[in-house]
Amino acid sequence: MTLTRKTTNLVPFVSVDNMMKLVNQVGAEPFMMAIADHIEEDFRRWPIFDKRARIASHSSDGAIELMPTSDGVAYSFKYVNGHPKNTKSGLQTVTAFGVLSDVDTGYPALITEMTILTALRTGAMSALAAKYLAPKSASVMAIIGNGAQSEFQVLAFRAIAGIDTVRLFDIDPEASRRCAANLAGAGLNAVICKTSQDAVEGAHIITTATADKQYATILTDNMIGEGVHINAVGGDCPGKTELHRDILLRSDIFVEFPPQTRIEGEIQQLAPDHPVTELWRVMNGEKPGRTSSSQITLFDSVGFAIEDFSALRYLSKLLETEPFYENLDMLADPDEPRDLFGMLLRAKGSANAA
Amino acid sequence: MTLTRKTTNLVPFVSVDNMMKLVNQVGAEPFMMAIADHIEEDFRRWPIFDKRARIASHSSDGAIELMPTSDGVAYSFKYVNGHPKNTKSGLQTVTAFGVLSDVDTGYPALITEMTILTALRTGAMSALAAKYLAPKSASVMAIIGNGAQSEFQVLAFRAIAGIDTVRLFDIDPEASRRCAANLAGAGLNAVICKTSQDAVEGAHIITTATADKQYATILTDNMIGEGVHINAVGGDCPGKTELHRDILLRSDIFVEFPPQTRIEGEIQQLAPDHPVTELWRVMNGEKPGRTSSSQITLFDSVGFAIEDFSALRYLSKLLETEPFYENLDMLADPDEPRDLFGMLLRAKGSANAA
């Protein structure tokens, strides 16, 4: 990858408005397919990355997290919050922004909104995992929790995992109606369901994407038949889970980065040595994904820094041909690098002269 | 503190240009005095902060670090790199930017350049420590290493610790000449010295601020007389120190956050249980600072997240009356918070209609 900086003081910035233009220019599905390709490439070279569980600052109402990683050439981090109560005051549960930097100089090469980009990379990651784990010719997905993430999930699964029917359920029926309406032109069969039991009926893939910050039981054991793939997206911080423990005990569990998932994922309900398979080992061929049609597979997704790195790496390449960014005067750049104070003095002089 | 957000999607951004205007408007010395006041306030309430050693990603040429902290009301982090080789290609050794957020919502409330702000807060922190540790009526400071940090150190010590004479030494004489020239109008007596031995002659305070990423011996034991205060600024990462170990053994050592300083500071040369005093305990009266005129005191400074928090807290207040910022469209803000995808769709619709 190349991180070309044209100037030393300016950092390309992708605003929300420019991100929307970019996504609409490329198309949400091709955009997510491209992110999935970049994630797959990066997961296959997993061992070279500098990895750590994300660094969370928890408060009573939510968490603010930093998610850094590096492949030795580029470095990225994402700032992301999770505040379920925000929607009550008209704010997003999750907002994010991120930075991609050049390891060689330490200089930021790109800063971008990542609320939309995170929704896209999460959809891409979920569908990519399903490519390895879902039953062959899966075509029906149930999606429980029809909030901000839902359409991205549906479109990613359509583009990457071959879904043609979605069964929607949310405790707020308006959320399901909005999701179905937003998907109206997408050529999918969207069915609004009255209960989660109803939604999982006939589904080959079950996605849970609810937002409550508590131990919840969105899925109970009796709802899960043989051969299903579960994509658990919503349980992603300590004290927040969506699946009954009995489901976990019947499933083969696949995770991103175990030290983070043990703390944040569904498997926080299990013993700390409960066997799990790292998804990167499936992608590089070391470990099998799905091995039988009766097996229940679970992707216990919490979102890992390398997925953001991959999304930023794709975005950085995309900006070379689609220059939807502006330049931010973010880095002090004195003519003589050791003369930071002199730059201040000269700025004062030129202001007085003006 | 108040973090008032006028809008939900826009984040105030302080560019390098606006930071220079702000500092020149307020004056570098009053600006550093105000930061020192905020640091002192925050150090006195040290136990309430969420604290951790900074999170570093090391490469052969440098490090990229994230420095988060929170007092439960506001959250801050700084991104900072340290790449000593950068100056050879006309780049800064250290560049930084930072964010102050509202813990209640997780939304960023301010994003700012922090290359200049870090230089100001480091000067403020050093001089504030000297207020508690330097010998009474100290008036002469030696400063070894006359790079980007040097003028900020000198002016902070003049404003906060009563210095009227500085003795400058750098292995590059041009650096000393530039520092002296930049300080010409400041009403200080600046003496350029030919050796570090010469520079420390008669100094009550010795500041080391060199940039080499290696174990160096900027000060040897024979250079340090009784009663001196040493302000060691440059040794701030693993494998990077400035003082001979024998000096440490003769000194009473004061630090910011021991878990970070043990890894990064001069005391990485000492046993992990070598006694040190946390500076916040001196500021809140729990522990004595300097107790005798013959004592050698050492502030083993590495820079801690709370100092950046304090600087950001001051900046945030300052912007209320000095609006040197622009607004960044950084946070996705759909009319209905759960309808992120709908916002994308509507952006597409309005682009097509236009």
Please give the mean pLDDT across all residues of chain B.
93
- A156-176: average pLDDT: 97
Q: How much is the average pLDDT of A84-105?
A: 92
Kindly list the distances between the CA atom of residue B48 and the CA atoms of A59, B69, B71, B217, B255, in Å, as whole numbers in the listed order. Answer: 13, 10, 6, 37, 18
Q: In the predicted model, is pLDDT for residue A8 greater than 80? A: no
**Cβ of residue A97 closer than 8 Å to a chain B Cβ:** yes
pLDDT confidence of residue B194: 97
Q: Say if residue B17 is in the same domain as residue B80.
A: yes
Domain match, B81 and B172 both: no
Q: Is B329 a catalytic residue?
A: no
- pLDDT of res. B239: 81
Per-residue pLDDT at A188:
95
- A 221-240: CB under 8 A from B: none
Annotated catalytic residue within B71, B236, B300, B308: B236
Per-residue pLDDT, A353: 65
Contact B139, B11 (CB under 8 A): no
Q: Cβ contacts (< 8 Å) between B148 and chain A: which residues?
A: 334, 337-341
Residues of A in contact with B107 (CB under 8 A): 81, 91, 95
Say if A1 falls within a structural domain: no
Average the pLDDT over B113-141 and give the result. Answer: 97
Looking at the structure of chain A, the number of domains it has is 2
- A17–B103 CB contact, under 8 Å: no
Kindly determine whether residue A148 and residue B97, on different chains, have CB atoms separated by under 8 Å.
Answer: no
**A251 CB burial (10 A radius; 0-12, 13-18, 19+):** buried
> Stretch A281-308: mean pLDDT, rounded?
97
The pLDDT of residue A2 is 45
Which of A16, A83, A175 faces B338 most closely, judged by CB atoms? A175
Band (pLDDT 50/70/90 cuts) for residue B254 is: very high
Instruction: Count Cβ atoms below 10 Å from residue A134 Cβ, excluding itself.
Output: 27
Q: Report the range of poorest mean pLDDT among A316-320, B129-133, B183-187.
A: B183-187
pLDDT for B61 equals: 87
Residue A216: pLDDT above 80?
no
Residues of chain A with pLDDT > 90, as a percent, come to 83
* Structural domain includes residue B350: no
If one compares B213 and A218, the residue with the highest pLDDT of the two is A218
Q: Which of B16, B118, B155 to mutate to test the interface with A (most CBs of A within 10 A)?
A: B16
Please indicate, yes or no, whether residues B185 and B94 belong to a single structural domain of this protein.
no
The confidence score (pLDDT) of residue B25 equals 97
CB atoms under 10 Å from CB of B137, counted, come to 7
Question: Residue B344: inside a domain, yes or no?
Answer: no
Q: What is the pLDDT of residue A30?
A: 98
Contact A178 B150 (CB under 8 A): no
Structure tokens at B89: 């290609």
Q: Is A342 on the interface with B (CB under 8 A)?
A: yes
B7 close contact with A: CB closer than 8 A = no
Domain contains B341: no
Same domain, B56 and B130: no
When scoring B87, B149, B210, B338 by the number of chain A Cβ atoms within 10 A, the one with the most, hence best to mutate, is B338
- Give residue B338's pLDDT: 85
* Residue A349 falls inside a structural domain: no
B291 and B146, same domain (yes or no): yes
pLDDT higher than 60, residue A219: yes
Nearest CA in chain A to B342: A182
pLDDT of the residue at B7: 62
CA B328 to each of CA B79, B109, B222: distance values in angstroms, whole numbers, following the listed order: 18, 11, 54
Q: Give bridge partners of residue A75 from the DSSP assignment.
A: A70, A101
Residues B253 and B140 in one domain: yes
Residues B273 and B258 in one domain: yes
Contact assignment for B24 to A344 by CB distance below 8 Å: yes
Give the pLDDT band (50/70/90) at residue A1.
very low
**pLDDT score of B212:** 67
A21 touches chain B (CB under 8 A): yes
B112 and B154 share one domain:
no
Find the CATH number of the domain harbouring A98: 3.30.1780.10
Chain segment A123-144, per-residue pLDDT in tens? 999 999 999 999 999 999 999 9
- Closest CA in chain B for residue A25: B348
Question: Would you state the structure tokens that stand for residue A211, as one six-digit string?
Answer: 């937002």
B75-106 tens-digit pLDDT: 999 999 999 889 888 888 889 999 999 999 99
What DSSP element (H or E) covers B339? none
pLDDT single digits (tens) B324-337: 999 999 999 888 88
Q: Based on the fold, state whether residues B95 and B198 are members of the same structural domain.
A: no
Inter-chain contact B151–A341, Cβ cutoff 8 Å? yes
Residue B132's CATH number:
3.40.50.720
Do both B91 and B105 map to the same domain?
Answer: yes
Domain limits for position B326: 10-116+307-332
What's the rounded Cα separation, in Å, for the pair A132 and A277?
12
Query: What's A195-233 look like in SS3?
Result: CHHHHHCCCCEEEECCCCCCEEEEECHHHCCCCCEEEEC
What is the complex's ipTM, to 2 decimals?
Answer: 0.92
Contact A69, A305 (CB under 8 A): yes
pLDDT score at A61: 87
Which H, E and C letters describe chain A, residue by residue? CCCCCCCCCEEEEECHHHHHHHHHHHCHHHHHHHHHHHHHHHHHCHHHCECCCCEEEEECCEEEEEEEEECCCEEEEEEEEECHHHHHHCCCCCCEEEEEEECCCCCEEEEEECHHHHHHHHHHHHHHHHHHHCCCCCCEEEEECCCCCHHHHHHHHHHHHCCCEEEEECCCHHHHHHHHHHCHHHCCEEEECCCHHHHHCCCCEEEECCCCCCEEEEECHHHCCCCCEEEECCCCECCEEEECHHHHHHEEEEECCHHHHHHHCHHHHCCCCCCCEEHHHHHCCCCCCCCCCCCEEEEECCCCHHHHHHHHHHHHHHHHHCCCCEEEECCCCCCCCCCHHHHHHHHHHHHHHC
pTM: 0.94
Chain A CB contacts of B178 under 8 Å are 336, 338-339, 342
In three-state secondary structure terms, B252 is: strand
- Does residue A93 register a pLDDT over 90? no
The C-alpha of A226 sits at a distance from chain B's nearest C-alpha, in angstroms, of 32
Query: CB–CB of A99 and B79 under 8 A?
Result: yes
Cβ within 8 Å, pair A66-B66: yes
Mutation target to probe the A interface, by most A beta carbons within 10 A, among B8, B331, B333, B336 is B331
Q: Which two tokens stand for residue B235?
A: 């040794």
- Whether B354 is covered by a domain: the verdict is no
CB atoms within 10 A of CB A285: 9
Contact A340 B115 (CB under 8 A): yes
End-to-end CA distance of chain B: 43
- Structure confidence at residue B2 (pLDDT): 45
> What is the rounded CA–CA span in Å between residue B176 and residue A339?
11
Q: Does the residue A4 lie in any domain? A: no
Q: Which of residues 156-195 of B touch A (CB under 8 A)?
A: 175, 178, 182
Are B250 and B148 within one domain? yes
Does B31 have pLDDT greater than 50? yes
Partner-chain contact A92 B340, CB within 8 Å: yes
User: In the predicted model, is pLDDT for residue B122 greater than 70?
Assistant: yes
B13-17, B230-234, B292-296, B321-325, range with the lowest pLDDT: B230-234
- Compute the average pLDDT of residues A260-265: 93
Residue found by looking up tokens 């109560």 in the block: A85
A109/B contact by beta carbon, under 8 A: no
Same structural domain, A93 and A151: no
Q: How many CB pairs under 8 A join A and B?
A: 248
In a domain, B347, yes or no: no
